[in-house]
Amino acid sequence: MKSAWIHVDRQLSLFASASRVCIALLAILFSGAGCGPATEAECRTSTDCLPAQFCRLSRCVYIIGDDSEQNADHVADAGADSDHDATDLPANSPPGSSDTGSDTDGDNPDVPATPHPCPDARQAAAGLLLINEILPNVPTGPEGDANADGTRSAHDDEFVELVNISPHTLDLQGVSVANDTRIRFTFPPHCLAPGHGAVIFAGSSIGAPPPAGEGFEAWLADSRFQFANDGGRVALFNAQGQLIDEALYTNAPPRSLNRSPELSDAGFAHHTALSENAIFSPGTCADGRPLTSGCTATTDLPDDENDENDEGDGSSTDPSPPDDSQPDPNAPDAEASEPG
Q: What is the 3-state secondary structure (H, E, C) of 139-163?
A: CCCHHHCCCCCCCCCCCCCCEEEEE
265 vs 60: CA distance, rounded Å? 68
Distance of CA 332 to the CA centre of its chain: 15
Between 215 and 205, the more confident residue is: 215
In sign, the C-alpha dihedral spanning 247, 183, 330, 337 is: positive
CA distance 246 to 44: 63
For the chain, give the mean pLDDT: 75
End-to-end CA separation in angstroms for the chain? 115
CA gap 175, 115 in Å, rounded: 19
Please tell me the distance from the alpha carbon of residue 114 to that of residue 105, in angstroms, as a whole number.
10
137: left (phi over 0), alpha (psi -120 to 50) or beta: beta
User: Is the pLDDT reported for residue 262 higher than 90?
Assistant: yes
Alpha carbon 37 to its chain centroid, in Å, reads: 52
pTM exceeds 0.85, yes or no: no
Cα(323)–Cα(235) distance, rounded to whole angstroms? 9
31 three-class SS: helix
**Per-residue pLDDT reduced to its tens digit, 47-90:** 777 766 667 677 776 654 444 344 444 433 434 343 433 333 33
Q: What is the pLDDT of residue 30?
A: 54
Q: What pLDDT does 134 receive? A: 98
For the chain, what are the domain ranges? Answer: 20-79, 123-310
Reported confidence tier of residue 39, pLDDT bands at 50, 70, 90: very low
User: What residue ranges in the chain does DSSP mark as E strands?
Assistant: 53-56, 59-62, 122-123, 129-135, 159-164, 170-171, 176-178, 183-186, 191-192, 197-201, 216-220, 231-237, 243-250, 257-259, 268-270
Predicted confidence (pLDDT) at residue 139 exceeds the cutoff of 70:
yes
CATH architecture entry for 123-310: Sandwich (2.60)
- pLDDT value of residue 113: 78
d(CA 225, CA 17) in angstroms, rounded, equals 86
The reported pLDDT for the residue numbered 181 is 87
**CA–CA dist 319, 232 (Å, integer):** 13
Q: What pLDDT is recorded for position 49? A: 75
Q: Could you give the CA distance from residue 206 to residue 209 in angstroms, rounded to a whole number?
A: 9
Angle at 304 (CA atoms; ends 301, 305), nearest 5 degrees: 50
Q: Which residue has the higher pLDDT, 140 or 90?
A: 140
The model's confidence at residue 287, banded by pLDDT at 50, 70 and 90, is very high
The answer to whether the beta carbons of residues 121 and 129 sit under 8 Å apart is no
Identity at 149, one-letter amino acid code: D
Taking residues 88-117, report their average pLDDT: 50
What SS3 state is found at 229?
Answer: coil
Q: What tens digit of pLDDT does each residue of 214-235 get?
A: 999 999 999 999 999 999 999 9
C-beta separation of 237 from 184 below 8 A: no
pLDDT at 329: 53
- What DSSP designation does 303 have? G
Q: Half-sphere exposure (CA, 13 Å, Cβ side) for 51?
A: 3
Rounded CA-CA distance 177/225 in Å is 9
What is the rounded average pLDDT of the residues 266-271? 97
> What is the structure's pLDDT at 62?
65
CA 125 vs CA 171, 176, 245: distances in Å? 10, 12, 9
**Res 201 pLDDT > 50:** yes
Question: Given pLDDT bands bounded at 50, 70 and 90, which one contains residue 171?
Answer: very high
Helix (H, G, I), strand (E, B) or coil at 24: helix
Per-residue pLDDT tens over the stretch 313-338: 444 334 344 455 566 655 555 444 44
